[in-house]
Structure 1
């Protein structure tokens, strides 16, 4: 019997790389004994004071809404609500190519059976402190100049893995085994190569 591995996964619903990595983690759950806790980070918060291209800043403008609603739902209903909400957001944003707006957020809230008034949290700036707190809990342990996906494996924090498609079955498990192996080496920091190919959400 192998010992269960504990992992924490930070996501922003807007990020396609986090979406692919999250689907990989779901595959891993089928072939390895792992327990995953899901958390919210925010690309909008991460980049708010950075010098970024105007088109990227424009893309981030609607990103506050989902993370505020996720944090509001977590505060009212507990941690277990985050994963089903993330699934509902990701299906609409990444598979359907929908724009993030009030209608989409209302659909997500309804899809997971939460109160319709929760959608109003998308405009509630008072939630930004909670967004920042959740964000920093995940990102501060990784360091500077990183984004999402961020995974903590038994407390060892990493940016990535960045994937262009979703590993399935035992391939997913083998990649996980590699991540667990490097997480056990306290002086390991980085592996990297240039990404090629289009993103594949299938």
Structure 2
């Protein structure tokens, strides 16, 4: 990449939990944007289990909160041992298996994702290791604190017009737009998110997650 192109690249940091279907759809949009715009997408881990600690949630969701610790611990271990590129590959592999292939959150999914990402199978040992929780919480709060507690994933941080960090939740999509539609949405999101005093643009969801 030329020095001029590097100067014009927008770094988009996104915080995701592999078990969130909406984050996976947004990720597919962001990957399309990365292909069409001068954008460098960097992945970080947040945790829906951390986010919802102490909250009253339906019993079905409570089970997901318990099972959801293991995949994000493995993601944190992969990042610590092998770097950001490994985290990117592992998140994409996990989300593909969880959502596109309905692979669940268990050991088989994690071992398969590690193999897909060409990472050591031994990283699976992090799944039950609470020693990773401190780093997980640090990563979680780095992404989530700038947008507040009443949002979920994905969260995106981008440079604002004055160089400041602009953080926002979303966009929530179903399905992910492709081609020029994806690029136009990115341009619009940057314009909205970078406007001083802008807080919310929302409407009710009328469809389930659509993966493509």
Give me the whole-angstrom Cα distance separating, in 2, the residues matched to 1:16 and 1:116.
25
1:53 is displaced (CA, Å) by 1.6
Whole-Å separation in 1 of the counterparts to 2:75 and 2:54? 23
Structure 1 gaps of 5+ residues are none
- How far, CA to CA, are the matches of 1:85 and 1:55 in structure 2? 26
Q: In the comparison of the two structures, how many residue pairs are matched?
A: 202
Query: Please, which of 154, 161, 169 is the counterpart of residue 159 of structure 1?
Result: 169
Structure 2 CA distance for aligned equivalents of residues 67 and 149 of structure 1: 14
RMSD: 1.3
Q: Which 4+ stretches in 1 moved above 4 angstroms? A: none
1:130 paired with 2:140, answer no
Structure 2 residue ranges without an equivalent (≥5): 160-164
Question: 1:144: Cα distance to partner?
Answer: 2.0
Q: Cα deviations across residues 87-146 of structure 1 (Å, max 9, x unaligned)?
A: 110111001111211111111112222222110100001101111000000000001211
Contact 2:97–2:109, Cα closer than 8 Å, also in 1: yes
Output the TM-score relative to the length of structure 1.
Answer: 0.96
1:173 to 183, 195, 206: 183
Q: Are the equivalent residues in 1 in contact too, given 2:86–2:119 (CA < 8 A)?
A: no
1:30–1:169 Cα contact (<8 Å) kept:
no
Partner of 1:44: 49
Matched, 1:89 2:94: yes
Task: Map 1:16-27; keep pairs closer than 5 Å.
Answer: 16-27=21-32
